[in-house]
């Protein structure tokens, strides 16, 4: 009987913890890189100016792909651990790490660490790795629960920039679902036992 009481109390504590803490957890999302139909952002691509208004590099417009990230909505919107590969007609851009945050708002800021594969030699003489910086002062930059839109440039090498647009899609996380499910089962079991007593 004592063991049942310990199990019941443990499951109840897990349920309460899961239900109270879940809203502030960072949840995994996919950033599905989109092209076309967005004001000022008709494609995701690399261009030849770290400031706005550059021309696209041949082979790097449009870029398509799916990046992974963790989304935290406890204080505005924050994307962390951004990683993945975007493929162009003749080249790829790999994001090795990144973070975008709206706090303090309203415009998001942050960075993408990148590595470029350039088999067509469109970026001859330019850096093939570095950091793209997205500044809060850019009014075009937007992040909410459904999409991310960015303009930024490489402020280390001053040789390239990026227009970026992606839709956010949630990714079911099995371990979270199992934890939530076990917590709910414990809560139901506790209520049932209490009703039987």
pLDDT tens per residue, range 16-44: 454 444 445 789 999 999 776 666 677 89
Judged by DSSP in three states, 109 sits in: strand
Q: Say yes or no to pLDDT of 12 above 60.
A: no
pLDDT tens per residue, range 63-80: 999 999 999 998 889 999
pLDDT tens per residue, range 130-155: 999 999 887 889 998 888 999 999 99
Q: What CA–CA distance (Å, rounded) separates 143 from 167?
A: 10
pLDDT score, position 21: 47
Predicted structure pTM score: 0.76
pLDDT score, position 20: 47
Beta strands in the chain (DSSP E): 27-33, 45-47, 64-72, 78-88, 91-101, 109-117, 129-134, 142-143, 147-153, 161-170
Q: What average pLDDT does the chain have?
A: 83
Q: What CA–CA distance (Å, rounded) separates 122 from 138?
A: 27
Contact of 50 with 158, CB cutoff 8 Å: yes
Alpha carbons within 13 angstroms on the beta-carbon side of residue 177 total: 5
Would you state the structure tokens that stand for residue 178, as one six-digit string?
Answer: 């199992």
Neighbour tally for 93: CB within 10 Å = 26
Q: Strand 109-117 to strand 78-88: parallel, antiparallel, or no bridges (unpaired)? A: unpaired
User: Rounded mean pLDDT of 98-105?
Assistant: 91
């Amino acid at each position: 009987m004592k063991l049942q009481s310990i199990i019941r109390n443990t499951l109840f504590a897990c349920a309460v913890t899961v239900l109270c803490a879940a809203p502030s957890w960072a949840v995994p999302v996919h950033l599905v890189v989109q092209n076309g139909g967005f004001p000022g952002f008709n494609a995701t691509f690399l261009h030849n100016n770290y400031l706005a208004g550059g021309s696209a590099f041949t082979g790097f417009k449009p870029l398509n792909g799916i990046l992974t990230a963790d989304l935290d909505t406890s204080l505005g919107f924050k994307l962390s651990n951004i990683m993945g590969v975007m493929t162009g007609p003749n080249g790829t851009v790999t994001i090795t790490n990144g973070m975008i945050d709206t706090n303090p708002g309203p415009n998001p800021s942050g960075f993408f660490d990148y590595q470029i594969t350039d088999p067509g030699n469109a970026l001859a003489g330019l850096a093939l790795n570095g950091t793209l910086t997205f500044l809060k002062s850019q009014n075009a930059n937007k992040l909410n629960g459904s999409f991310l839109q960015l303009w930024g440039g490489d402020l280390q090498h001053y040789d390239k920039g990026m227009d970026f647009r992606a839709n956010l899609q949630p990714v079911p996380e099995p371990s979270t679902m199992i934890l939530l499910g076990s917590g709910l089962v414990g809560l139901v079991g506790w209520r049932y036992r209490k009703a039987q007593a």
